Amino acid sequence: MSAPASSAADAAALYALQRAAFSAERYPSHAARRDRLDRLASLIDRHEPQIIAAIADDFGVRPPQETRLTELFVVDVALRHASRHLAAWMRSRRASTPLYLRPGRSWIERQALGVVGIVSPWNYPVQLALLPAIAALAAGNRAMIKPSEITPSTSALLATLVARYFSPGELAVVNGGADVGAAFARLPFDHLLFTGSTQVGRSIALAAAENLTPVTLELGGKSPALIHANADLAALSARLAVGKLLNAGQTCIAPDYALIPRQRAEALVQALQRAVARLYPAPIDNRDYASIIDERHYSRLVALLDDARAKGARVIALGTGTGPAGGGTRRMPPTLVLDVSDAMAVMQQEIFGPILPVETYATLDQAIERINARPRPLAMYMFGGSATERRRVLEQTIAGGVTLDDTLWHFSNENLPFGGVGASGYGAYHGERGFLTFSHQKPVFAQSRATPGRLLYPPYGERFEATLRLLKRIV
């Protein structure tokens, strides 16, 4: 199933339609917003088998359980959370009024921006398209989604289902290649959210800048897993392995390398070998283990391993029956890379696959220094450590988000903002933070009939000076 291509002209016409629809309904009621969220929930609930099949068709092998958990469950959680809190999010907020402005009153209105653009990636093609859409619709906006052309079956299904449940003036999908994506990013959206690579994120930001469109960039980077000297390797190995191998490592917040005290590195290798053998026995033939999305990405991962070997790394494939992927499945064995150096490409690039470099350190200061020497990551993980050591790491390193003693889970808490920092992106969404991302918080001041401000009117003289002296004393 291929996604029907749209043209740049189609995208522009759809944008004009949504702009007109927003102009006719600038502040949708709670009932209207709730209805849109309910329709999105029905879309997910009624078409789960089709969504699972489409994603599996794009990947080759994608366990239905992973799709149900990482795509459908996560979207369902976000929908339920938004529906439950929508009325409270919509309410205006009182703001304190300083003494010199009283008896006037101040408050903040939460107002929809207008038309929101969403450029979503291929690795979680439903979740990362719909989570921003939930926030945009809850905030009262219209939204257009440009999904990835790398997942044509899922993108085509998403377009079909969205058109069935929504008018094009409410929510719509624009499919097409890179040319359509570039034209999409240049539309004068009121906000544009992009999820993907840092390289493409830069081009998206430049395109949006032509219209001064505010942008949220959810990128990636090399997310570290810092293992303290006292960490329980038997307990953490499965958590680290699942965080790395979920969706075959094709997750923007997957741990990209592990940092462990030098004397514990071999013990970590053994613990991971045991964990992977339990979790993913015979991984290249295991239906619970996903494929790499396409040949280009598979070849890129092979090249990372070849480069590491050539530069002196030890490469260890994990799981029983590991070997070259066969039968066109594009499944790569879980792989550890030891004795790494910064000269290796695997330590310079975001991996986005089932490869985990293991870097050693002598002191905690050295570990912190190595994390800070690299671009700021989207996520960081930490296992073990005393309360003092954890606090020190949290204060001395910068990352988009953190999970302690596990991986990935901070992403799934709708009460926490999700976003990057530095090269891993800027801006955040999820929960109320997503609602605010797609809202304008409009400050309002209501003057009283009895305002003392008239004492500052011209003609200026002693009355003005006396009033200003008084105001300075009461500020």
CA proximity to 203, closest of 190, 218, 180, 186: 186
Catalytic residues: 218, 252
Name the strand (E) or helix (H) holding 243: helix 233-245
Contact 251, 408 (CB under 8 A): yes
Written as six digits, the tokens of 117 are 């653009």
Residues contacting residue 166 through CB under 8 Å, at least 6 positions apart: 36, 39, 172
The percent helix, strand, coil of the chain (3-state, each to 5) is 50, 15, 35
What gap in Å lies between CA 160 and CA 46, rounded to an integer?
A: 14
- Could you tell me the two tokens for 345? 């490409």
| E strand segments, 174-230 | 191-195, 215-218, 224-227
Q: Is 196 helix (H, G, I), strand (E, B) or coil?
A: coil
Long-range contacts of 42-50 (CB under 8 A, 24+ apart): 42/165, 43/161, 43/162, 43/164, 43/165, 44/72, 44/75, 44/76, 44/79, 44/130, 45/76, 47/157, 47/161, 48/72, 50/157, 50/161
d(C-alpha 384, C-alpha 190), whole Å: 44
Per-residue 3-state assignment (H helix, E strand, C coil) for 20-64: HHHHHCCCCCHHHHHHHHHHHHHHHHHCHHHHHHHHHHHHCCCCH
